[in-house]
A = this chain, B = another copy of it.
């Protein structure tokens, strides 16, 4: 949808988008992403480091648990999910990523990815060789700071999720999750009240520590209570104020 230029949906790639060179300085997401706060000269250096852009189709993986760390990924369009899994197949989704967000930094300690990263829909990502990026961060103070900030942010987000799953009731979890989506969509210049759920109910459940049926029932109940209206993947928050206050 957001990538109208890709018309052929199942055959081999018709046009080799994969080799298009990225250019942070022209990217609309610059201030949300890794380059935030860098000056023109530094931006050029970063651009030379970023390898290329790449299209990932729905269901395709950027990496899997155990893969050696080679690239970080910055999302340009689309949506991804990261998940860990237990030996017997139980899944915990650890995050959903939107444009401007970075994937892969969990793997720096241990040099291997600790989770799977899968596209929820057709997406475009920038590939960033980790070794080069670390070298560059050594030379550019602002980039080191930005990297540390990104990682710290990830820690904060996981802490939030921990609090949600560990101490919130099912309805609080889903509400907090929707509120979070609303805020992140706003950051991207989209509506705070009209949310697109890029993931399935199953994914939402696996993220919030709930069964998919519980998620579905909650949507119905919220609708009865007049908090929102649902139509498939689209949720309209009719009462953002109430939602905010109900979260304390």
Copy count, this protein chain: 2
Within the assembled complex, what's the spacing in Å between the Cα atoms of A30 and B137? 25
Within the assembled complex, what's the spacing in Å between the Cα atoms of A21 and B26? 49
* Residues on the B chain within 8 Å of A156, using CB: 106, 109-110, 114
29 A-B pairs within 8 Å (CB atoms) are namely A84-B160, A86-B163, A86-B168, A87-B248, A90-B167, A91-B167, A92-B162, A92-B163, A92-B167, A94-B163, A106-B155, A107-B152, A108-B148, A108-B149, A109-B150, A109-B152, A110-B156, A137-B144, A138-B141, A138-B144, A147-B148, A148-B148, A155-B158, A158-B159, A161-B162, A162-B162, A162-B165, A165-B166, A166-B206
Considering the complex of A and B, which 10 residue pairs feature the smallest CB-CB distances, nearest first? A87-B248, A108-B152, A166-B209, A109-B153, A109-B152, A158-B158, A151-B151, A92-B163, A92-B166, A90-B167
Within the assembled complex, what's the spacing in Å between the Cα atoms of A166 and B94? 10
In contact, A165 and B165 (Cβ under 8 angstroms): yes
Q: Does A88 lie at the interface of the complex (its beta carbon under 8 Å from any beta carbon of B)?
A: yes
In contact, A209 and B165 (Cβ under 8 angstroms): yes
* Residues on the B chain within 8 Å of A47, using CB: none
A: contact size bracket: 35 or more
* Residues on the B chain within 8 Å of A144, using CB: 134, 137-138, 144
A window 85-119: CB within 8 A of B: 86-88, 90-92, 94, 105-110, 114-115
Main secondary structure of the interface of A (DSSP, over half): helix
Q: Does A145 lie at the interface of the complex (its beta carbon under 8 Å from any beta carbon of B)?
A: yes
Give the distance to chain B from A245, nearest Cβ to Cβ, in Å: 11
* Residues on the B chain within 8 Å of A171, using CB: none
In contact, A167 and B86 (Cβ under 8 angstroms): yes
In contact, A148 and B134 (Cβ under 8 angstroms): yes
A108-B149, A109-B152, A137-B144 given; 11 more Cβ-contact pairs under 8 Å: A84-B163, A87-B248, A92-B167, A105-B152, A107-B152, A109-B153, A115-B159, A134-B144, A148-B148, A148-B151, A162-B165
Within the assembled complex, what's the spacing in Å between the Cα atoms of A109 and B111? 23
Whether A155 touches B92, Cβ cut-off 8 Å, given contacts A167-B86, A209-B166, is no
Q: Does A154 lie at the interface of the complex (its beta carbon under 8 Å from any beta carbon of B)?
A: yes
